[in-house]
Structure formats: structure tokens, C-alpha cells
Amino acid sequence: MPTYARAPVAFVRGAGCRLWDREGRVHLDFAAGIAVNVLGHAHPRLVRALTAQAETLWHCSNLFEVPGQEDVAGRLAALSFADVAFFGNSGAEANECAIKLARRHHAAAGRPERWRILAFEGSFHGRTLGTLAAAGNPKNLHGFGPAAPGFDHAPFGALAAAERLVGPETAAILVEPVQGDGGVRVADPAFLAGLRALCDRTGALLMMDEIQTGIGRTGRLFAHEGAGVRPDVMTLAKALGGGFPVGACLATRHAAAGMTAGSHASTFGGNPLAMAVAAEVLATVTAPGFLETVRATGDRLAAGLDALVAARPHLFEARRGMGLMQGLRCRTDPAVVVAAFRDAGLVTAPAQDRVVRLLPPLIVSDAEVDEALAIMDGVGARMRLAA
């Protein structure tokens, strides 16, 4: 179906931060499949883990115990606030699980009237009917009938509005610590702390959608760590499988109290292939020094982008973001800028709010950052001549 406005390029091979298209041209990848290829392309450790699992067992169903799920859930629990995990195949499914979990949490405690979720304008939570309603973006909901009920929306960052919208029917607050699709909008730590306090006061669950920010993207394993705010529920996907489809909904035992046997399921979720790769991604990203390097490389990219904005103000308006999740706000349609970058050999991703997203693999080198900055500066110089 023609549901994608695809760029006229087909990548057929990747290694590290490079992609080769079918004409044999090499591109520098600063999109990483939208924050997915966290260790770049064809990382030897991931290739080995996936190949070894492929020779052993592909699938067996959640009718049985799956040792790989115990391994990955145990690692995620040791690395986070969470006690338990449910595995799916995508981000949208992880958020569906979180929404169901929040409603069951209250229903199981004798409060079935608490089923509404407060979410934020500019957010993105997936393309299922539930997660579309959660984000509330009218453009994405258009033509699909009435939005699923039970979601309220406050402006992102507006704590007083959130406080007004949380009522006796509110089950949970769902928030991205950095809005990705919304344009790399970083939540103020005080806003997240205010939501935490609001949840503590009202008994609502605080649910962080870290599908794009998680697994080291912002320089911390999870973005909420940087803000010093612990959620009750967190969703992951994108980078968790380094390019193999997997999603997870993590929660404290208390938050997940309603998720009893038979309450939720997935045929493919937590498949042995996905778990083998996810375990290797987690081991690599949490190795000593890895995230320190991400922070240092992120600082280098941010400084370079600040200089770019200062040097090419006719095209670039501002930089935003943290770590290796950076956005460049443009004075023109970001799709035009993304296309110009791509023609110059740099792959990036557009976002809302006139933003071009820079999401390189976390293994990106200083030299590759400098190369990307030089390409962007060259495009800035040429687009000035064209204007």
C-alpha cells in the first residue's frame, strides 16, 4: 500500500555507520533506521548472537518458558526501576501493553472507574488505534473513525494544565522524556518531577515512553535517569533489538499487579531470536565506558550543530536535544533539508515542528561526526546560493 512517502533510494548493505545504495553509492547514516541501529549495521557481536540463535531455536510460543526472556527481563530489571517485563514486537505494542496495564492496575484494586490516560500534545506513541488516540495527533487520526476513548491531552511541559486534567478517573500519565517525532523537544526535568509528584499524590501511574530515547540514545541508558525521575512503567522498542524487531513494557511489580495469566499475550513477543539480540545489545551498551563515549560524542555533535546554526542562520534556526538525539530546527520544510543532506551523502530523518533529526548509531566516531557536520555546512552554503 502506498502508505509511505519513500525517498528514491534503496539501501542494500550496511557496515558500522555507512550504508550502500543499490547504485553503489556510500552514505553516512545519521538516522539509524530512526534510532534503531544503535550499534550501527552488521555489528559483529549482534551478527554472532543472531546467527548462533538461528542455528539453535527460532520460535516455540509463550505457551512455554522462554529462557531468553528470563535473561533479558533480568538484565532490564537489574538496569532499571522495573521488576517485570512483557515482550512484544514493536513500540506501539509496548504502549498498548502499558495502557492495558494501567487500566488493569486500578480495576484489580477495585477502582475500574480509573481508566483514563493523560498524554501530551506533540507526542507520538505508535499507529495502532489505541496509541493513535493516546497521542491525539489529528493528522494521524484523520479518517479512521472516532478516536478510542479515554485519553486526555495537556500541552507538553505545562504542569498546571496536567494537574487540572488529572481527575478521579485518571489511571496514568504517559509521557516521552524527549519527544522524538514531535521535534526533539526535551522535557524540563522540573516538569517530569512535577508529573511524578502529581502521580504520587493521586495514585496515577507515571508511564514513560522511552521507545526512542531508551538504550543510551540520550547518553544515559534511559532518559529519565538524566532527569532524576523514576517512572512506574516504561516502554522500549527501537534500539532494544539493534535492528531486530522487539518491544518491551517494563513495570514495577506494584504497577503490574493487574496483569494476571491470560490478561495479555503475543504470539511472536519475546521470540528467542529477538531475545538473543536484545541481550547482546544490552551487554554492549552497558559495557564500561560505552555511555561515557556517547555523552562525549553527543557533546561534540551538539557543539558542532550550535556552530552550524550560528554560521548558517538563514537555513537553521536552533539546535535541540541531548546525547546522540539531536534536532536541527529549520527555516524551511525539513523534508527539503533532509533531501539535500541525502543528496550530499548524509542520511537523516525529518520530524514535526520543522525539525531534522540526527540520530546516528551510538558507535559513531568523532571523525564521522565531523564529516556529517561538514556535509551539513556544505548544504547550508549551497542552499544560501539557491535562495
238 is catalytic: yes
237 near ligand PLP, rule: CB under 6 A: yes
Say if residue 222 is exposed, middle or buried (CB neighbours under 10 Å; 0-12, 13-18, 19+): buried
125 near ligand PLP, rule: CB under 6 A: yes
> Least CB distance from residue 182 to ligand PLP, whole Å?
9
Among 16, 180, 183, 334, binds ligand PLP (CB under 6 A): 180
> Least CB distance from residue 94 to ligand PLP, whole Å?
8
Residue 102 CB: number of other CB atoms within 10 A? 28
Among 115, 120, 124, 222, binds ligand PLP (CB under 6 A): 124
92 near ligand PLP, rule: CB under 6 A: yes
Q: At what angle do helices 290-311 and 366-386 cross, to 10 degrees?
A: 20
Cell of 8: 528514491
Q: What single-letter amino acid sits at 50?
A: L
The DSSP output letter for 178 is E
Q: What single-letter amino acid sits at 200?
A: D
139 is catalytic: no
- Give whole-number Cα distances, 110 to 106, 115, 117, 193, in Å: 6, 12, 18, 28
Out of 29, 120, 152, 238, which one is annotated catalytic?
A: 238
Q: Which residue is nearest to ligand PLP (CB)?
A: 91
In this chain, which stretch among 84-92, 162-170, 189-197, 284-292 interacts with ligand PLP, using CB under 6 A? 84-92
> Least CB distance from residue 337 to ligand PLP, whole Å?
20
Say if residue 382 is exposed, middle or buried (CB neighbours under 10 Å; 0-12, 13-18, 19+): middle
Out of 81, 86, 120, 124, which one is annotated catalytic?
A: 124
> Least CB distance from residue 372 to ligand PLP, whole Å?
21
Among 97, 211, 281, 285, binds ligand PLP (CB under 6 A): 211
Specify whether the CB–CB gap between 194 and 187 falls below 8 A. Answer: no
Four-residue CA torsion sign, 121, 355, 236, 198: negative
Four-residue CA torsion sign, 37, 43, 45, 47: positive
316 is catalytic: no
> Least CB distance from residue 27 to ligand PLP, whole Å?
22
> Least CB distance from residue 245 to ligand PLP, whole Å?
8
The footprint of ligand PLP on this chain (CB under 6 A) covers a number of residues equal to 15
Whichever of 37 and 212 has its CB closer to ligand PLP, that residue is: 212
271 near ligand PLP, rule: CB under 6 A: no
Whichever of 90 and 297 has its CB closer to ligand PLP, that residue is: 90
Specify whether the CB–CB gap between 236 and 248 falls below 8 A. Answer: yes
Among 126, 130, 361, 380, binds ligand PLP (CB under 6 A): 126
Among 37, 53, 90, 271, binds ligand PLP (CB under 6 A): 90
* Alpha-carbon span 121 to 175, nearest angstrom: 10
- Three-state SS for 89? coil
Among 29, 96, 152, 176, binds ligand PLP (CB under 6 A): 176
120 near ligand PLP, rule: CB under 6 A: no
Q: Kindly give, in sequence order, each residue whose CB lies less than 8 Å from that of residue 279, ignoring residues fewer than 6 positions away.
A: 49, 68, 71, 72, 75
192 near ligand PLP, rule: CB under 6 A: no
91 near ligand PLP, rule: CB under 6 A: yes
In this chain, which stretch among 70-78, 106-114, 124-132, 365-373 interacts with ligand PLP, using CB under 6 A? 124-132
| Closest by CA position to 50, among listed 281, 262, 207 | 281
* Alpha-carbon span 49 to 276, nearest angstrom: 6
* Alpha-carbon span 220 to 286, nearest angstrom: 10
Q: What single-letter amino acid sits at 87?
A: F
Whichever of 217 and 329 has its CB closer to ligand PLP, that residue is: 217
Catalytic residues, which ones?
124, 209, 238
Residues at the site binding ligand PLP, with contacts judged by CB under 6 A: 90-92, 95, 124-126, 176, 180-181, 209, 211-212, 237-238
